[in-house]
Structure 1
Amino acid sequence: MLRILIVASLITLQGCAAALVAGGMGVASSVHDRRTMGTQIDDKTLLARVNNLLAESPEIEEYAHINVNVYNGIVLLAGQAPNDDLRNKAEQAAKSVQHIRKLHNLIRIGTPTTAGTRTNDVWLASKVKANLLADERVDGLHVDVMVEDSEVFLMGLVNANEANVAVDIARNISGVARVVKAFEYMQQ
Structure 2
Amino acid sequence: MKTDIELQREILSELAWQPSVNPAHIGVTVKSGVVTLTGHVPSYAEKYAAEKAAKGVYGVAAVANELEVKLPGSSQRTDEDVAIAAVNALKSNVLVPSDRIKAIVKDGWVTLEGEVEWQYQKEAAERSVRYLTGVLGVTNAITVKPMLSPTDIKSKIEEAFKRTAEFDARRVTVEVHDNKVTLRGHVRSWLEKEEAERAAWRAPGVRSVDNLIVVTP
TM-score for both structures, normalised by structure 1: 0.36
Larger relative strand fraction: 2
Q: Based on CA coordinates, which of the two structures has the bigger radius of gyration?
A: 2
**Higher helix fraction (1 or 2):** 1
Instruction: Give the TM-score of the pair, scaled to structure 2.
Output: 0.31
